[in-house]
A and B are shown apart, each in its own frame.
Chain A
Amino acid sequence: MTEPRNPGMSSAPQVNPAHAESSSPAVEMDPVEYTLRKRLPRKLPKRRNDVYVNMKTDFRAQLARCQKLLEGGGHREICIHGLGLAINRAINIALQLQTSSQGALQLAANTSTVELVDDLEPEDPDEAGEPMTRTRNNSAIHIKVFYPEP
Chain B
Amino acid sequence: MKGPAPLRGLSPLFLSLPLNHTDTPPVSICEAAPVPYVSSWRTEPTSQSITEDELGLQGRRPSCRPPPQLQPMPKREGFKKVCRTEEESPCPFPGLPSGVLEMRVKEGSKIRNLMGFAMARMQGEKAGSGEGASSAGLRQVVFTGSGRAVTKTITCAEIMKRKVGCLHQLTKLQYKVVKEVWESDQGGASEMTVHRTVPSISILLSKDPLDPREPGYQPPEALSALWEDKDGAEPAAPTCKRPHVAASHSSFLQPKRLCLGEGVSVLPPH
Measuring CB to CB, which residues of chain A are less than 8 angstroms from any residue of chain B?
9, 11, 38-50, 52, 54, 56, 58-60, 63, 76-77, 79, 83-85, 87-89, 91-92, 94-96, 99-100, 106-116, 137-144, 149
Please name all residues of chain B whose beta carbon is closer than 8 Å to the beta carbon of A95 when the two chains form the complex.
25, 173-175, 199
Closest to B257 in A: A45
**Residue of A43, A58, A116, A137 touching B270 (CB-CB under 8 A):** A116
Query: CA–CA, A128 to B151, complex, Å?
Result: 38
Taking the closest CB of chain A, its distance from the CB of B267, in whole angstroms, is 5
Is there a chain A Cβ closer than 8 Å to B30's Cβ?
A: no
Is there a chain A Cβ closer than 8 Å to B144's Cβ?
A: no
Whether B241 pairs with A41 at a CB distance below 8 angstroms is no
Is there a chain A Cβ closer than 8 Å to B154's Cβ?
A: yes
Whether B216 pairs with A108 at a CB distance below 8 angstroms is yes
Whether A144 pairs with B252 at a CB distance below 8 angstroms is yes
Known pairs A79-B252, A111-B218; list 10 more (Cβ under 8 Å).
A43-B260, A46-B240, A59-B23, A60-B18, A79-B256, A112-B227, A113-B158, A116-B270, A140-B154, A140-B226
Chain B interfacial residues counted at CB < 8 A: 63
Whether A110 pairs with B269 at a CB distance below 8 angstroms is no
Is there a chain A Cβ closer than 8 Å to B126's Cβ?
A: no
Query: CA–CA, A60 to B169, complex, Å?
Result: 31
Query: CA–CA, A58 to B24, complex, Å?
Result: 13
Given contacts A84-B151, A110-B218, A111-B203, contact A48 B270 (CB under 8 A): no
Query: CA–CA, A106 to B171, complex, Å?
Result: 13
Query: CA–CA, A96 to B21, complex, Å?
Result: 9
The count of A-to-B residue pairs whose CB atoms sit within 8 angstroms is 166
Main secondary structure of the interface of A (DSSP, over half): mixed
Nearest first, the 7 A-B pairs at minimum CB distance are A46-B263, A108-B215, A45-B256, A109-B171, A44-B263, A139-B154, A59-B23
Whether B228 pairs with A115 at a CB distance below 8 angstroms is yes
Please name all residues of chain B whose beta carbon is closer than 8 Å to the beta carbon of A63 when the two chains form the complex.
21
Is there a chain A Cβ closer than 8 Å to B224's Cβ?
A: yes
Given contacts A59-B23, A88-B148, contact A107 B173 (CB under 8 A): yes
Whether A45 pairs with B259 at a CB distance below 8 angstroms is yes
Is there a chain A Cβ closer than 8 Å to B1's Cβ?
A: yes
Query: CA–CA, A59 to B57, complex, Å?
Result: 13
Taking the closest CB of chain A, its distance from the CB of B117, in whole angstroms, is 18
Query: CA–CA, A92 to B249, complex, Å?
Result: 22
**Residue of B201, B241, B263 touching A109 (CB-CB under 8 A):** B201
Whether A111 pairs with B241 at a CB distance below 8 angstroms is no
Is there a chain A Cβ closer than 8 Å to B242's Cβ?
A: yes
Please name all residues of chain B whose beta carbon is closer than 8 Å to the beta carbon of A144 when the two chains form the complex.
215, 249, 252
Taking the closest CB of chain B, its distance from the CB of A99, in whole angstroms, is 5
Please name all residues of chain A whose beta carbon is closer than 8 Å to the beta carbon of B249 when the two chains form the complex.
108, 144
Whether B216 pairs with A138 at a CB distance below 8 angstroms is no
Q: Point out which of A60, A89, A115 has the most chain B C-beta atoms below 10 A from its C-beta.
A: A60
Whether A88 pairs with B173 at a CB distance below 8 angstroms is no
Closest to B231 in A: A43
Whether A109 pairs with B228 at a CB distance below 8 angstroms is no
Query: CA–CA, A131 to B119, complex, Å?
Result: 37
Instruction: List 22 contacting pairs A-B, 8 Å CB cutoff, sorted by A.
Output: A40-B267, A42-B228, A46-B262, A48-B240, A48-B241, A49-B242, A79-B252, A83-B270, A87-B150, A87-B151, A88-B148, A88-B150, A88-B199, A91-B150, A91-B173, A95-B175, A108-B216, A109-B173, A110-B218, A111-B218, A113-B158, A143-B173
* Contact code string B142-157 (vs A, CB < 8 Å = 1, else 0): 0000011011001101
Query: CA–CA, A109 to B170, complex, Å?
Result: 8
Whether A44 pairs with B227 at a CB distance below 8 angstroms is yes
Is there a chain A Cβ closer than 8 Å to B91's Cβ?
A: no
**Residue of B23, B226, B252 touching A108 (CB-CB under 8 A):** B252
Is there a chain A Cβ closer than 8 Å to B268's Cβ?
A: yes
Closest to B201 in A: A91
Taking the closest CB of chain A, its distance from the CB of B231, in whole angstroms, is 8
